[in-house]
Amino acid sequence: MATKNTSASDALPIDHLVINVQDEMDQAQHIFEQLGFTLTPRGRHTMGSINHLMMFDEDYIELIGLPKEEKELRPELLANPVGIEGLVFQTSHAEQTHAALTARKLSLMPVQSFSRPVELDGRMLDARFKTVRLTPGQFPAGRVYFCQHFTPELVWRKEWQTHKNGAYRIAALLVVSDQPEQDARQYRLVSGGTIVQGNNGEFRICGKNYALVFITQAAYEACYGPLVCEGHSRASYFGAIALKTHNLDAVRETLHQADPESNIRWRDMENRISLDVPGFNTVLEFVETNFF
């Protein structure tokens, strides 16, 4: 994924990205720990889904799934393919965000409130949220929504923010599209910001510390070769997540020490390391602090 220096625009900050693991949470937990991530304890939302988080300085990745015995609780998770399936922006006021997006002629679902219990020092506390979700179908790549945190102190905690692979921030999300420029314009209705055209038909929307990058299938395959995700015949899909790491050598050491039976495939390009997450249709890319 090209992550060249680009001046930041006013695109909204990312809260987190979501990887759908359906009913294989145990295996997902094992694989992501092999990749050098510290995972939060398993949580359970009031809607019935379960999750683990990989917390960074200001954002995070969420593994979301369902208990094997209770698949019917959130059928939308089973309807979407395994892999990267959620782009979530920050909001400090869900109702105001809902009104603003409605004014832009976007179709929205009602504001949703929910929580999940968190155990800290022997006490059970509730992490509470509100989300503003766009109705399905507007973004073929996956779910796009906003999250308001009422209890961020229960989510961003130092004991969960240090990772063996040195990851500390989301650098970019890659969207593979039949029509990259048109997709970029559609996402800008939600994210704000300015669309910048790059090389090889690439378009991007830049936030303060990240970019949404839109490329064609051919450009995607040229960049990642055999590591590419399966698009499942969608007009667009989320093809890769780039993460900032403090030290690529930490990533190399982690991958060399991973269980060989995990079958992690990876490519070392000196200034970036790309890998596929076996069984979960996800490409991750690690870049150093001076690369984006």
pLDDT at residue 199 in the model: 84
State what percent of residues in the chain have pLDDT above 90.
80
pLDDT at residue 8 in the model: 46
| Domain end position, chosen among 160, 181, 200 | 160
Token pair belonging to 175: 């969207």
| Domain end position, chosen among 160, 185, 209 | 160
What does the pLDDT look like over 83-129, one tens digit per residue? 999 999 999 999 999 999 999 999 999 999 999 999 888 899 999 99
Instruction: Specify the number of domains making up the chain.
Output: 2
Within this chain, do residues 227 and 92 fall inside the same structural domain, yes or no? no
Domain-embedded: residue 115: yes
Within this chain, do residues 128 and 108 fall inside the same structural domain, yes or no? yes
What does the pLDDT look like over 2-29, one tens digit per residue? 434 434 457 999 999 999 999 999 999 9
pLDDT at residue 76 in the model: 67
Within this chain, do residues 115 and 183 fall inside the same structural domain, yes or no? no
What does the pLDDT look like over 199-246, one tens digit per residue? 888 999 999 889 999 999 999 999 999 999 999 999 999 999 999 999
80 DSSP assignment: S
Higher pLDDT, 68 or 70: 68
Distance from first CA to last CA of the chain, Å, rounded?
10
pLDDT at residue 201 in the model: 86
Question: Whole domain around residue 245: which residue ranges?
Answer: 167-288
Within this chain, do residues 212 and 236 fall inside the same structural domain, yes or no? yes
Give the C-alpha separation, 212 to 187, whole Å.
Answer: 9
Number of residues assigned to the chain = 292
pTM higher than 0.85, yes or no?
yes
Domain-embedded: residue 4: no
Task: Please give the backbone phi and psi of residue 267, each rounded to the nearest 5 degrees, phi first.
Answer: -130, 130
Within this chain, do residues 248 and 190 fall inside the same structural domain, yes or no? yes
Higher pLDDT, 38 or 4: 38
Q: What is the mean pLDDT of residues 251-267?
A: 94
Please work out, in degrees rounded to the nearest 5, the angle formed at the alpha carbon of residue 191 by the alpha carbons of 187 and 194. Answer: 85
Give the C-alpha separation, 199 to 172, whole Å.
Answer: 17
**Is 42 in contact with 116 (CB distance < 8 Å)?**
no
| Domain end position, chosen among 101, 134, 160 | 160
What's 58's domain CATH number?
A: 3.10.180.10
Residues near 100 by Cβ (< 8 Å), separated by ≥ 6?
A: none
Within this chain, do residues 189 and 278 fall inside the same structural domain, yes or no? yes
Within this chain, do residues 147 and 189 fall inside the same structural domain, yes or no? no
- 69 has a pLDDT exceeding 90: no
Domain-embedded: residue 122: yes
Domain-embedded: residue 235: yes
Q: What is the mean pLDDT of residues 65-69?
A: 84
Within this chain, do residues 93 and 214 fall inside the same structural domain, yes or no? no
Pairing of β 265-268 and β 272-277? antiparallel
pLDDT at residue 62 in the model: 98
pLDDT at residue 102 in the model: 95
Domain-embedded: residue 180: yes
Domain-embedded: residue 1: no
Domain-embedded: residue 6: no
pLDDT at residue 122 in the model: 84
Domain-embedded: residue 7: no
Q: What is the mean pLDDT of residues 132-138?
A: 92
Within this chain, do residues 97 and 176 fall inside the same structural domain, yes or no? no
What does the pLDDT look like over 272-285, one tens digit per residue? 999 999 999 999 99
